[in-house]
Structure 1
Amino acid sequence: MFNEKKPLTKEETIAADIEESSVEEQTGDNDTLNEESAAAENSAEEQEIIEETEESEEDVIARLQDEVEAEQNKYLRLLADYDNFKRRSQKDREIASKFRSQSLLTDLLPVLDNFERAMAVETKSDDAASIMKGVDMVRKSLLEAVKREGLEEIPAVGEPFDPNFHQAVMQEKDDNAEPGIVLQELQKGYTLKGRVLRPAMVKVNE
């Protein structure tokens, strides 16, 4: 009725043991190979991470060096700009101090012209002569005051014409003078510490 399992013979038992041992040995070898492979992969990954980390540190160092150099250059440019600003400011202050009276003296030029015209008028009486003497004293006092501020007359008559200081409004032929020589001064010119406030209006020999 029931199938009874036949007992294995001695030869069959030995063969079965050998087969089982072979299977276990093969399984163990496979496990060892898998472990070695996994260990190798882990070691390679760790080495790659280490190399990437080293490269990143080098990149960081290079970037920081570039940033430091850029900041140093920025600082040097700012320092140079500040030095230039100080020099310009100092120069502007010196110019402002040197020519502080330019506006006032420019306004006084017509007054000096009027004194010149007044002194050119001929006097025919003692009273007029006395008045002209007082006017001349005032003129001289004013000239001394403006000269102390650096105002100077521009030489004209007998001088070679210089467009930097003279304004030619007339020409005339005079054989007794060299060509280009100023023959007559029609209006005085003035300089303030070397700067032309007003050129002299002159008549020039052809």
Structure 2
Amino acid sequence: MKRRKKDPLGGDKEQAHQDPVSSQAQAEDGPSPGAAPEKVEQDDRYLRLRADFDNFRKRVLRERQETSRRAQDELLEELLPVLDHIELGLRAAADHDPDGTFLAGYRMLSDQFTCVLTKFGLEPVPATGMQDPNLHEAVSHVPSDEPGGTIIHEIRRGYKSGKRLLRAAQVVVASSNEDDQDVADDDRTDAPDATAEEDSEPQEQRGEPGKE
């Protein structure tokens, strides 16, 4: 059997050459119970600085992502009028030359531009079903057989980016019975009162009894 070589200072060589990885793990886990007070304070300060730096790194990354998303949404908002004009031009081309090459080229341009905006997160707001005040702007109410609040027609398309609304959709909504009653009440209020007009006539125009 081979004997262990003793260290001149009285310890084994295996203990003298301790694994540095295990030493670092012990420092990260915390000071040992028998460590000196200065060593305990240094280890505690190291752990605090490491936690503060990790929180700082996460906060900077989150702020950078938020700034990038806000700049992207602002750019999409600026491009919405351009998209509206392209759609208007596409409708005009379809009315004047439905089978021409100009309409086909215009449609390719519209599809490509819409595809690019969609890649950056632009989504159209659905304009069907019931009106959602958070997504739709009712510009008028019309009588309809549909239930009150149902979207009848879309005037201007709305868009959103993720969960953020860039522009609400302008729609025409079916009026409910309560809306019709309010309109009728307003008409009666605005109409002149015939009884009041008769009472306001001069007394001499009515004729006094016994003088005829």
TM-score between both structures, scaled by the size of structure 1: 0.54
Measured after TM superposition, the shift of residue 168 of structure 1 is: 1.1
Query: What's the counterpart of residue 181 of structure 1?
Result: 150
Runs of 5+ in structure 2 lacking a partner? 1-47, 176-212
Cα distance between partner residues in 2 of 1:88 and 1:163: 34
Query: What's the counterpart of residue 203 of structure 1?
Result: 172
Query: What's the counterpart of residue 120 of structure 2?
Result: 149
Kept in 2, the 8 Å contact 1:161–1:180? The answer is yes
Cα distance between partner residues in 2 of 1:81 and 1:179: 56
Cα distance between partner residues in 2 of 1:123 and 1:199: 27
Q: Among 102, 109, 121, which residue is 2:80 paired with?
A: 109
- The verdict on how the C-alpha distance between 1:125 and 1:106 changes in structure 2, with shifts beyond 3 A counting, is closer
Cα distance between partner residues in 2 of 1:112 and 1:105: 10
Q: Among 133, 139, 150, which residue is 1:163 paired with?
A: 133
Cα distance between partner residues in 2 of 1:106 and 1:159: 25
Cα distance between partner residues in 1 of 2:125 and 2:150: 14
Q: What does residue range 6-17 of structure 1 map to in structure 2 within 5 Å?
A: none
Measured after TM superposition, the shift of residue 120 of structure 1 is: 1.9
Amino acid at match of 1:162: D
TM-score between both structures, scaled by the size of structure 2: 0.52
Q: Which runs of at least 4 in structure 1 moved beyond 4 Å after TM superposition?
A: 78-88
Query: What's the counterpart of residue 191 of structure 2?
Result: none
Amino acid at match of 2:136: H
Percent of pairs with identical residues: 33
Aligned with 2:100: secondary structure? Answer: helix
Cα distance between partner residues in 1 of 2:122 and 2:69: 12
- Higher RCO structure (Cα 8 Å, ≥6 apart): 1
Query: What's the counterpart of residue 72 of structure 1?
Result: none
Query: Number of matched residues?
Result: 131
RMSD value, Cα: 2.9
Runs of 5+ in structure 1 lacking a partner? 1-75
